[in-house]
Amino acid sequence: MLGLIDSTLVGEANSAAPQGAAGDRVLVLGVGNLLMGDEGVGIHILRLLEHERPVAGVRLLDGGTGGVNLLTEFDGADDIVLIDATRDGRAAGSITFLQPEFVGDLPRGLGAHDFGLKDLFAAAALLGRLPRIHLYTVSVEEVRPMCTELSAAVAAAVPEVVHTVRALAARLAAPG
């Protein structure tokens, strides 16, 4: 499942300059709403990745709740590593990895930013610009409006996701 809530408080993608360059083969895309506690885990993970040594061929992007506005960011990418929160009934901090082959294979989400992501991937598929998707989700149990902190359980999962995402992105970007 992608997304959790109506993310109207942060409606655009973060305008900060992404690490890497347009046209890199791998796009690591963190999504979520930082103002909703655990719902922003994808952005927290992306920000930690930004402090790591850059990986050639990998671009990091804070997608916020940008939805379809992110379509042009797919240009040149062969793979997208997407990081998001999910409310899937599993214990907070549970990590799931999926490789949906088609847009219809994406998990059903709970909120407006998920609707935007599904629209984004559907539009990319229609335009013939849908890269391979590698999806990491972190299970959350509670969404706390106007809170920028992660719960202890979700925060405990962050280092593993940072390590795993970085390793996958490096492998995907490696020549050959």
* 8 located within any domain: no
* 151 located within any domain: yes
Q: Are strands 95-98 and 58-64 parallel, antiparallel or unpaired?
A: unpaired
pLDDT of residue 172: 98
* 87 located within any domain: yes
pLDDT of residue 23: 61
* 59 located within any domain: yes
* 4 located within any domain: no
* 134 located within any domain: yes
Q: Domain containing 159: what range?
A: 26-173
Ramachandran quadrant class, 62 (left: phi over 0; alpha: psi -120 to 50; beta: rest):
beta
pLDDT of residue 104: 79
pLDDT of residue 105: 81
CA atoms within 13 A on the CB side of 72: 4
Count other Cβ atoms within 10 Å, centred on residue 139: 22
Alpha-carbon span 125 to 176, nearest angstrom: 25
pLDDT of residue 77: 95
Number of domains, the chain: 1
* 9 located within any domain: no
* 17 located within any domain: no
Across the beta sheet with 26-31, the strand order is 58-64, 26-31, 79-86, 132-139, 95-98
pLDDT of residue 68: 82
In the block, residue with structure tokens 């916020």: 64
Q: Which residues pair with 83 in a beta bridge?
A: 30, 136
- Which ranges of the chain would DSSP assign to H, the alpha helix? 41-50, 112-126, 152-173
pLDDT of residue 9: 30
CATH number at residue 155: 3.40.50.1450
Q: pTM for the full model?
A: 0.85
pLDDT of residue 95: 97
> Which DSSP state fits 91?
P
pLDDT of residue 113: 57
Walk along the chain (176 residues) in steps of 10 and give the mean pLDDT of each run: 32 47 86 94 97 96 87 93 93 96 71 66 89 95 94 98 98 92
